[in-house]
Amino acid sequence: PHVCNTCYKHYYHRKNLVEHEKTHLQIRNEICEVCGDSFIHKKNLLEHLKLHSGEKPFQCDICTRRFITSGRRLEHIKRCHSEKSECCLICDKKFSLIKELTRHIKTVHS
């Protein structure tokens, strides 16, 4: 196994360790030729390029909205089509996503 010297995470393949270590070093070798934005990982650049191309291959199962990633589609479904299950313990306001609840607590109750 290959081990990260910074966080001690283990990887079976050396190439995966090398990719992981870029996150600690903040090496941004993946450059968008359209706008110049830079990324640590190629997968992030490929996702970013969909913004320029307009490609949105992931459609919501409930409505007609489309998204550039499956993750964004799932977040939309939870936010727009699911029950609000995250509840603020201070004021009882409800949210669909935990990150919305966290933002609420920081901005309203801090």
Structural contact between residues 40 and 30, judged by C-beta atoms closer than 8 angstroms? yes
pLDDT of amino acid 23: 85
Rounded mean pLDDT, 68-90: 91
pLDDT given for residue 62 in this prediction: 92
Q: What integer best gives the mean pLDDT of the chain?
A: 91
Greatest CA separation found in the chain? 49
Place of tokens 């801090």: 110
Within a domain: 60: no
Is there a domain that residue 61 lies in? no
| Residue 11 lies inside a defined structural domain of this protein | yes
Whether residue 108 lies inside any domain: the answer is no
**pLDDT value of residue 96:** 86
**pLDDT at position 93:** 94
Domain count, the chain: 1
**pLDDT tens digits, one per residue of 16-66:** 999 898 888 888 889 999 999 999 889 999 989 998 999 999 999 999 999
* Residue 16 located in a structural domain: yes
pLDDT at 85 over 90: no
Q: Domain range holding 45?
A: 2-53
CA 76 to chain centroid, in Å, comes to 13
Q: Which two tokens stand for residue 41?
A: 């990982």
The Cα 48–Cα 3 span in angstroms is 30
CATH number for position 21: 3.30.160.60
Q: Taking the CA of residue 28 as centre, how many other CA atoms within 13 Å lie in the half-sphere pointing to its CB? A: 9
pLDDT at residue 65 in the model: 94
pLDDT above 70 as % of the chain: 100
If DSSP codes are grouped into helix, strand and coil, which group holds residue 65? coil
8-state DSSP, 62 = S
Q: Is residue 22 part of a domain?
A: yes
